[in-house]
Amino acid sequence: MLHLGEVPNLSSVLRHFRGQRILVIGDVILDRYWWGEASRLSPEAPVPVVRKQRATVRPGGAANTAANLAALGATPLLVGLVGTDRESGELQGALLENGVAVDGLIRENARPTTTKTRVIASHQQIVRVDEEDLAPISGEAEGRALVVIAERLESVTAVVVSDYAKGFLTPSLLNFVTAEAGRACKRVFVDPKGADYTRYQGCFLMKPNRLELSVLTGLPVRTHEETLAAGNRLSAAMPGAMILVTEGADGMTLFADSRPVEHLASAPRQVYDVTGAGDTVLATLSLAISAGASYRHAMELAGEAAAIAIGTMGTATVTLPQLEAAWNASVRPSTGTEK
């Protein structure tokens, strides 16, 4: 926890959130929620009968990352793939409501918009139904995406890649992003998916959780000690890239080449729903570093934002006033005895 004398630097960083333009590239998802009550079991099968009361939609995946960036005061430029179905319209409407422009979305006629429908009863998720096509996007759609990315790259502060393995982020598209971002001196922050870490070579920072780190390294990652072993292995395999592992209740750990490993513990939190918390961490972290925060301060801000997100049922965005209030509440006055 920081001392009171350190607050002005972070306050300055938070003020600079509003000047950042972040290019977000990845798998966009429509998160649909059906809310209701379950008071009995079905006579047809041992499952609850949910009486639906209302429905809501939220941007998910890379769209949630973009929505979090907008809520924190930045200007996200979102590039992703949608269909031409009703769900595409719902997702675009949800994005516009969250202050995210939709003109960077690539439409493909034969492909459904990735949709996750969650049924919630008594604050518990009963079931999730996914509608998706996991095949790689067509060459024609990829070509259109590359044009949009190239047009926007020069005007942004940083690039965020949100990979949900839904087919949009092909190897050639990822190679183009890291190569062009490198030439433009733009940092690339990645939320990875799958076992092939070489897909993300050239990135500035990769943010796996424990499960993703296990898949990337082939090592068990169930404890902080196992995180250290696997994180060091992945860091060695990706020289020049920082690896930030989110560890749930155990906080997060940063691996950065020859620098000492840095761990940030997590305070006890009330957890209602972890959906989208990784998107919130990625958005806050990339924005804080782009606004001039130290890596440690960026981790602390990302941790505060994640705590807000998991305290909300359903996919959530964290606003700049919420983050500022949480940060100020976490700061204690110095007693004058600390070194």
Looking at residue 272, which CATH number applies to its domain?
3.40.1190.20
Q: Looking at the domain assignment, is residue 48 inside a domain?
A: no
| 123: nearest Cα among 65, 37, 249 | 37
Q: What is the pLDDT of residue 326?
A: 82
User: Helices (DSSP H) in 56-170: which residue ranges?
Assistant: 62-71, 86-97, 139-153
Q: What is the pLDDT of residue 276?
A: 66
Q: Looking at the domain assignment, is residue 73 inside a domain?
A: yes
Q: Looking at the domain assignment, is residue 339 inside a domain?
A: no
* DSSP character at residue 6: G
Q: What is the pLDDT of residue 144?
A: 97
Q: What is the pLDDT of residue 328?
A: 79
Q: 10 Å Cβ neighbour count for 172? A: 12
Q: Which of 27, 31, 191, 279 is catalytic?
A: 279
Rounded-to-integer distance, Cα 74 and Cα 61, Å: 18
The helix (H) or strand (E) run that includes residue 126 is strand 124-131
pTM over 0.75: yes
Query: Quick check: is 279 catalytic?
Result: yes
Q: How many domains does the chain have?
A: 1
Burial code (b: 16+ CB inside 10 Å, e: under 16) for 57-89 equals bbbbbbbbbbbbbbbbbbbbbbbbbbbebebbe
Domain that holds residue 66: 4-31+60-330
Rg of the chain's alpha carbons, rounded to an integer? 20
Q: Looking at the domain assignment, is residue 71 inside a domain?
A: yes
Q: Looking at the domain assignment, is residue 275 inside a domain?
A: yes
The residue count for the chain: 339
Q: Looking at the domain assignment, is residue 43 inside a domain?
A: no
Rounded-to-integer distance, Cα 292 and Cα 296, Å: 11
Q: Looking at the domain assignment, is residue 243 inside a domain?
A: yes
Give me the tens of pLDDT residue by residue for the chain, a chain 339 residues long. 333 334 447 778 888 899 899 999 999 999 999 999 998 999 999 999 999 999 999 999 999 999 999 999 999 999 999 999 999 999 999 999 999 999 999 999 989 999 999 999 988 899 999 999 999 999 999 999 999 999 999 999 999 999 999 999 999 999 999 999 999 999 999 999 999 999 999 999 999 999 999 999 999 999 999 999 999 999 999 999 999 999 988 999 999 987 899 999 876 554 444 566 889 999 999 999 999 999 999 999 998 888 888 766 656 688 888 888 887 787 644 333 333
Q: What is the pLDDT of residue 332?
A: 42
Q: What is the pLDDT of residue 15?
A: 86
Q: Looking at the domain assignment, is residue 19 inside a domain?
A: yes
